Amino acid sequence: MDDLDRAIADEDAHGFIKVLTVPGKDRILGVTIVAEHSGDLIAEYVTAMKHGLGLNKILGTIHIYPTMAEANKYVAGNWKRAHAPQRLLRWVERFHTWRRGT
């Protein structure tokens, strides 16, 4: 929350969001939000859980700037980075290095 422009402008840059997912999947099992406007922020997760949408769908949604709802996008982005397929990324990096001839 401390990187969120809206939270900084409103002097509410404290708190956290924790999302529990199925291991290896982006399906949301539960969410904990401890912050100002947590009731507004959790609505997106409730909708996603009800309709079987995962964090990738939240990440792909356009969030209005600057709003507190961007925190949901940041959480989904952090999840995506933490669960990136490292083995595949290393292989792609080696392939492109080979193709460039360096």
DSSP string, 1-62: -TT-HHHHHTT---EEEEEEE-TTS-BEEEEEEEETTHHHHHHHHHHHHHTT-BHHHHHHS-
How many other C-beta atoms can be found within 10 angstroms of the C-beta atom of residue 63?
17
Give me the mean pLDDT over the 14-34 stretch: 94
Per-residue pLDDT reduced to its tens digit, 49-76? 999 999 999 999 999 899 999 999 999 9
**CATH assignment at residue 20:** 3.30.390.30
Residue span of the structural domain in which 23 resides: 5-100
Cα–Cα distance measured from residue 7 to residue 66, given in angstroms and rounded to the nearest whole number? 9
Share of the chain above pLDDT 70, in %: 99
Number of structural domains (the chain) is 1
Cα–Cα distance measured from residue 11 to residue 35, given in angstroms and rounded to the nearest whole number? 12
